[in-house]
């Protein structure tokens, strides 16, 4: 295995930089996946039937808290990667842990929001609008949930093995995934919530 020391550890071998490029290609596919969900959402947003409209069920405060939590977690994982590049394992683990806690906070709010929607009669089967709303939000939420477990295992590996080309590569790829979730949330925040409440 040829290690190029001029590059950060996560890119240091041919295999590593190929894995990162491969993950970007996966993220390209994810962009398209969420595009289909947004397309369906924009098509069905007014098909509320006898159920509530977006303006009636959206609340700004929890949505804003979710946004701040996810934005901050995206920032802290960025700091985690920076700490990894300067070789500070303790700081990297701290930032990754903070990231996951913020992610958990986000998820708690989202679960609470879903329970609230069902409680006020906006469940998955109420109308075309609520169905696509919960599907879109749920797909993002499922990604966050998956990310929480993934991140936890990354933390455990780095804790056990330290920074190697493998663990650094895995951590970096996880950070790409997490930032991507934040990007998707920005679009949900803007075009589902804010547009719905405008």
Residues of the shown chain interacting with other proteins in the complex, contacts defined by CB under 8 A: 7, 11, 17, 20-21, 24-25, 27-32, 34-36, 38-40, 42-43, 60, 64, 67-68, 71-72, 74-75, 77-79, 81-83, 86, 88, 91, 175-176, 179-180, 182-183, 186-187, 189-191, 194-195, 197-198
Cβ at position 88, least distance to other proteins in Å: 7
Task: Report the distance separating Cα 28 and Cα 33, nearest Å.
Answer: 9
For 122, the 3-state DSSP assignment is coil
Task: Report the distance separating Cα 38 and Cα 40, nearest Å.
Answer: 5
Task: Report the distance separating Cα 88 and Cα 77, nearest Å.
Answer: 14
Nearer to other proteins, 114 or 187 (CB): 187
Say if residues 118 and 130 touch (Cβ distance below 8 Å): no
Alpha carbon of 116 to those of 6, 45, 134, 135: distances in Å?
52, 19, 12, 16
Alpha carbon of 13 to those of 17, 176, 182: distances in Å?
6, 18, 28
Nearer to other proteins, 118 or 166 (CB): 166
Nearer to other proteins, 75 or 114 (CB): 75
Nearer to other proteins, 118 or 186 (CB): 186
């Amino acid at each position: 295995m040829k290690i190029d020391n001029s590059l950060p550890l996560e890119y240091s071998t041919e295999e590593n930089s190929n894995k990162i490029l491969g993950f970007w290609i996966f993220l390209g596919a994810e962009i398209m996946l969420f595009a289909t969900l947004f397309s369906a959402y924009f098509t069905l947003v007014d098909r509320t039937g006898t159920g509530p409209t977006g303006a009636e069920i959206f609340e700004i405060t929890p949505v804003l808290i979710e946004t701040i939590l996810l934005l901050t977690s995206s920032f802290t994982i960025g700091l985690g990667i920076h700490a990894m590049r300067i070789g500070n394992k303790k700081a990297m683990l701290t930032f990754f842990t903070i990231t996951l806690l913020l992610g958990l906070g986000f998820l708690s709010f989202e679960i609470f929001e879903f329970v609230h929607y069902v409680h006020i009669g906006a469940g998955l089967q109420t109308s075309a609008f609520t169905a696509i709303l919960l599907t879109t939000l749920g797909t993002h939420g499922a990604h966050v949930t998956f990310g929480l477990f993934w991140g936890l295992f990354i933390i455990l590996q780095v804790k056990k093995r330290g920074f190697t080309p493998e663990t650094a590569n895995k951590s970096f790829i996880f950070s790409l995934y997490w930032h991507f979730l934040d990007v998707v949330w920005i679009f949900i925040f803007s075009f589902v919530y804010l547009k719905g409440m405008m």
